[in-house]
Amino acid sequence: MSYQGIIHRYHEFMDLPPAVQPITLYEGNTPLIPVPAIADNLGGGFELYVKYEGLNPTGSFKDRGMTTAMTMAKHNGKKTVICASTGNTAASAAAYASRAGLRAIVMIPEGKVAAGKLAGAVAYGAEIIQIPGSFDDALSFVVEISQKSEIELVNSLNPYRIEGQKTASFEICDELGSAPDWLCLPVGNAGNITAYWMGFTQYNRIKNTGLPHILGVQAEGAAPLVIGHTVEHPETVATAIRIGNPARGEQALMAAEESKGRIIAVSDEKILAAQKMLASSGIWVEPASAAGLAGLIDRIKNNSFDPKGKRIVLVCTGHGMKDPDIIISRGIKPVRLPVDFDKVAEYILGGRIQ
Ligand SMILES: *Cc1c(COP(=O)(O)O)cnc(C)c1O
């Protein structure tokens, strides 16, 4: 049977009523791409893969959680959904709400949302509210609104978001035949690390697939789980993880501890270097998505981790096209030439025309 999205494929492992009508854009089923050149660059002798979640329908892994959250909102007769977002949740909620015929309200921190994400939310027809505050401010507002009304919250505090997002770990196990040794991923509001750990432990109970160690990576300017307290004014180029008070912070710390992994922080500079390294293997991701690789590189370089013989998966959470400005701002521009064959040939061939 042809592929019809994650609920169709993994319903038996999800805490969803048996007779739901999936609201789906055929999300999931993303490729697990080997990146041997990057592994060699880091000393070689291990297997390295990218789980390319940027290839979901709206360009990020948020679609996995949104198909389940929106399916249940519709199932429960809700008319309106709401979320706070650094951008990708907004775009995904907007898309799945239009698919479900529901009204979507998204609240975003002003001036801090990447162009491709805001455009997505607009294109899919969400009502967008900007506030001159942080993601954390926006989240506290929408949580309260959802508690005081019939409006459904579709942030990752919504348990159905986690039910959907955990399917990425099922896909990885199905593809590799077992869990990898390490899973490296960015951590913002900490829903995704929570979902992966839930998925791996569940699959291990049922299918004996083993458990990975989890390396969660935050940006230095937004690393509440590393420094141990809330960050009032989080700052990082990785806008998707620019969060100072993660909603599932406790669960993220538990996932790191139970998996005998850890949560670390890396600088923006290292995140952008990792983004470039992924692109040089043909995989362009938004800055936050490169944090997993940046963290892995850091651990290898300071000798706190030996990857030899290991199987490692990097979760690349969102597509590079979400945040074109970060690339453009590096100032590399196309070469301008006149409409003149000889000039073009001279530039390309260095004047050696046969
Ligand atoms: C949402 C998001 C994250 C962070 O995920 P959390 O569940 O908030 O930890 C990382 N990268 C991208 C691209 C995202 O959209």
Among 195, 241, 193, 243, residue whose Cα is nearest residue 214: 193
Q: Does 240 sit in the ligand 1 pocket, CB within 6 Å?
A: yes
Which atom of ligand 1 lies closest to the CA of 189?
Answer: 8
What distance in angstroms lies between residue 191's CA and the mean position of ligand 1's atoms? Answer: 8
- List pLDDT tens digits, range 211-221: 999 999 999 99
**pLDDT at site 111:** 83
Does residue 56's CB lie within 6 angstroms of at least one atom of ligand 1?
no
Q: Which of 155, 193, 241 to mutate to test the pocket of ligand 1 (most atoms within 8 A of CB)?
A: 241
- Please, what's the b/e burial string for 299-331 (b: 16 or more CB within 10 A of its CB; e: otherwise)? beeeeebebeebbbbbbbbbbbebbeebbeeee
- Give the Å distance between the CA of 240 and the centre of ligand 1: 5
Which tokens sit at 48?
């390295």
pLDDT of residue 333: 87
C-beta 188 within 6 A of ligand 1: yes
Confidence at residue 329, expressed as pLDDT on a 0 to 100 scale:
87
The neighbour count for residue 153, using CB atoms within 10 Å, is 21
Q: Which residue lies with its CA nearest to atom 2 of ligand 1?
A: 240
Task: For ligand 1, say whether the CB of 194 is within 6 Å of any of its atoms.
Answer: no
In angstroms, the CA 156 to CA 137 distance is 16
The alpha carbon of 335 and the centre of ligand 1 are apart by a number of angstroms equal to 35
The residue ranges of DSSP E strands in 177-288, in sequence order, are 182-186, 213-219, 262-266
* Nearest atom of ligand 1 to the alpha carbon of 188: 9
**Which helix (DSSP H) or strand (DSSP E) does residue 47 occupy?**
strand 47-52
Question: What pLDDT was estimated at residue 351?
Answer: 66
Query: Does residue 286's CB lie within 6 angstroms of at least one atom of ligand 1?
Result: yes
Average pLDDT rounded to a whole number, residues 133-160: 96
Ligand 1 centre and the CA of 343: distance in Å?
Answer: 46
Distance from residue 347's CA to the centre of ligand 1 (Å): 43
Q: Whose CA is nearest to atom 3 of ligand 1?
A: 240
Element (H, E) at 316: strand 311-316
Lowest-confidence segment of 29-43, 103-117, 207-221, 238-252 by average pLDDT: 103-117
Mutate which of 108, 187, 243 for ligand 1? The one with the most ligand atoms within 8 Å of its CB, which is 187
DSSP string, 75-139: HTT--EEEEE-SSHHHHHHHHHHHHHT-EEEEEEETT-S-HHHHHHHHHTT-EEEEESS-HHHHH
Tokens in use for 163? 């039910």
The ligand 1 atom at the shortest distance from the C-alpha of residue 88 is 15
pLDDT value, residue 257 = 98
Q: Residue 352 — very low, low, confident or very high, per pLDDT cuts 50/70/90?
A: low
Residue 353 pLDDT > 70, yes or no?
no
Least confident of 14-28, 193-207, 337-351: 337-351
Mean local confidence (pLDDT), 70-93: 97
Report the distance separating Cα 8 and Cα 21, nearest Å.
10
Tell me, what's the pLDDT at 258?
Answer: 98
pLDDT for position 332:
82
Band of the pLDDT at 354, cuts 50, 70, 90?
low
Name residues whose C-beta falls within 8 Å of residue 127's C-beta, 6 or more positions apart in sequence: 103, 104, 105, 106
Could you tell me if the CB of 62 is within 6 A of ligand 1?
Answer: yes
Question: What atom in ligand 1 is closest to the CA of residue 185?
Answer: 10
Cβ-contact 125, 99 below 8 angstroms: no
Q: What are phi and psi of 15, to 5 degrees?
A: -85, 75
Beta bridge partners of 315: 51
* Residue 112: per-residue pLDDT: 81
Please tell me if the CB atom of residue 241 comes closer than 6 angstroms to any atom of ligand 1.
yes
- Mutate-to-test residue for ligand 1 from 56, 86, 248, highest number of ligand atoms within 8 A of CB: 86
pLDDT at 163: 98
Share of the chain above pLDDT 70, in %: 99
Domains defined for the chain, CATH in brackets:
6-59+161-326 (3.40.50.1100), 62-158 (3.40.50.1100)
Rounded distance from Cα 319 to ligand 1 centre (Å) = 12
The predicted-structure confidence for 19-63, as pLDDT tens digits, reads as follows: 999 999 999 999 999 999 999 999 999 999 999 999 999 999 999
For the whole model, what pTM was predicted? 0.96
- Looking from the CA of residue 61, the nearest atom of ligand 1 is 15
pLDDT at 151 over 90: yes
Q: What is the whole-number distance in angstroms between the Cα of residue 85 and the centre of ligand 1? A: 10
For residue range 308-345, list pLDDT tens digits in order. 999 999 999 999 999 999 998 887 889 999 999 999 99
